[in-house]
Amino acid sequence: MVKTVKMGDWNLRNTYYLTLMTVAHVLGEVAHFLINASGREVARELHFGEFACFVNESLADQNNNNNCSSIESNEICGNETSCYWDYSGLGIEYQILAGPAFVAIFSTSAVLLAVLSDQYKTSISRVVMLGAGTAILSSACLLMNSVNSYWELVVLRMVIAVGESVCRPLCGALIANLFSPSSRGVANGIFFWGVYLGFGLAFILGINATQIGIDWKATYTIVAAPGFVVSLLFLFTFDNQLQSEVHASEASSASEKEVGFKKIGESLANPVLWILLAGAILRQTAGLTWAYNTQLYFQNYHPQFDLGYWLFGASAVGGCFGVFAGGYLSDRLASRFGFPSRLLFLAFCTFISSPLAAGTLYFDPPDSMGFLVAYYFFAETWFGSLFTVIVEIVNPEVQSTFIALFLFFMNQIGGNLPIIVTPLNMWLHDYRFALLLVWPGCLVLSSLLFLLSTFPLYWKQLVIRRGEDDRQDLVDYQQNVASS
């Protein structure tokens, strides 16, 4: 086990545990987004999805390089010597892989595992569950090497979702145990570096794999190998007694489980949670709209642009620094101006990110990459700030359950809403404008809901202060009467 070196919340033990959880998160997100980055290569090997006409770079000349993409018939495409007909990587099969095959399983299993963790936390270690989840994800990635059909790919994608679903709710609860409220925002921000590092690394692996002679299946092996190492580190170096130290006085009796369900009901009665959920759904819709359409957008409007390393740089630099700075600033604001200031900061950053998203779509690369870096810096403050708020306004006994429930509805709705881009594109006949309506548009709406969520909190603070003032006035009055 890692020994504690006294440095407040940021002692050696806590820093190591947070690093290990963040690495597991990175690996999970790489496995999640690899299909978005390598969809065309996967479709061509496993033969699924829509067809399209492509330029044969070895035969095409400069005069007809732009003609192939406009051809919609196999026969006409075949008559053009510089074109060829092949799988595009798009279609309903791809949409199932990118969305429902992952999102539905991920969010459902996260709820079940988190409820199991909360209700049986004295008998089932969260650390063991994290190690097992990471091992399941790594095993599914390793089995990708044996995939020979589309449905085998769907099943393994579901297994990857089960493995990753363990990470967020359980790590969120462990971070709440390890770090005090004054440091929790930064800790959550560092943990959610996994989203941006994983997203960027997935595109580097997926886009550049063929250029350096790596098969798409091998990219999953690259994820599996360190995943098994992290799983072992969870099991053998993470303190299994951590949660029992926090819940030493809790017993897993039937009566206490009834109290747990009562506390779930009390937390559900908080209107702030419902407003935050609506805002988070719209924010998730905005973010995944861009994630699912990133490569397709650049293939349509900027096919010659080398996206991989640019996207990784924008995601890693803007996203990681933004989420860390967001957690740090929200911690400072909360300590100085009170708890609701976290949500004011969240609303401000989300609103600012909307015009930056629009700039990413409007300008050509590499200028658009500058807007994308700035977008990630402001927009990606939301995860750390939001989940810090959630763990602070729900009962500690049901933190894992609520994080999982929140993720369930956020992902089930927000994770599937990006499909509205397709009908909007068909209606408007403008792919860029369809993205503009959904991506920056949902950011604006979510920022307004985050702002709205601050009002119940400020009102509660006002009521508490008035009650304290009234009690103090009563004490002063009684003292004056007694002295007279």
Q: Tens-digit pLDDT profile for the chain (484 aa)?
A: 554 444 457 889 899 999 999 999 999 999 999 988 888 889 999 999 888 888 887 775 555 555 787 787 888 888 888 888 998 887 778 878 887 888 888 888 877 877 777 666 666 788 888 999 999 999 999 999 999 999 999 999 999 999 998 888 788 888 888 888 778 878 887 888 888 889 889 988 888 886 777 888 999 999 999 999 999 999 999 876 655 444 444 444 444 455 556 667 777 778 888 999 999 999 999 998 898 888 778 877 887 788 888 888 888 888 888 877 777 788 888 888 877 888 899 999 999 999 999 999 999 998 999 999 999 989 888 876 887 788 778 877 777 677 777 878 898 899 888 878 878 887 887 889 999 999 999 999 999 999 999 888 777 666 666 665 556 655 565 666 566 6
Phi, psi of 88 (to 5 degrees): -90, -15
- The answer to whether 293 touches 182, Cβ cutoff 8 Å, is no
Alpha carbons 379 and 310: distance in angstroms, whole number: 18
Q: Are strands 51-55 and 83-87 parallel, antiparallel or unpaired?
A: antiparallel
CA–CA gap between residue 397 and residue 119 (Å, rounded): 9
Note the pLDDT of residue 466. Answer: 64
Q: What span, in angstroms and rounded, lies between the C-alpha atoms of 174 and 243?
A: 8
Q: How many CB atoms lie within 10 A of CB 457?
A: 21
Alpha-helix runs per DSSP H in 269-340: 271-301, 307-313, 321-337
416 vs 162: CA distance, rounded Å: 18
> If DSSP codes are grouped into helix, strand and coil, which group holds residue 10?
coil
Helix/strand/coil for 212: coil
The string of DSSP letters for 356-391 reads HHHHHHHSPTTHHHHHHHHHHHHHTTHHHHHHHHHH
**C-beta of residue 382 within 8 angstroms of C-beta of residue 285:** no
| 429 conformational bin, left if phi > 0, alpha if psi -120 to 50, beta if neither | left
Query: pTM (2 decimals)?
Result: 0.75
* pLDDT, position 9: 76
Question: What is the reported pLDDT for 476?
Answer: 60
Residue 161 and residue 105: Cα distance in Å, rounded? 6
The answer to whether 216 touches 156, Cβ cutoff 8 Å, is: no
Q: Cβ(166)–Cβ(132) under 8 Å?
A: yes
For the record, the structure tokens of 169 come out as: 């709710």
For residues 388 and 175, give the distance between their C-alpha atoms in angstroms, rounded to a whole number. Answer: 10
Look at residue 470 in the predicted model and tell me its pLDDT: 53
How many other β-carbons are positioned within 10 Å of the β-carbon of residue 71? 18
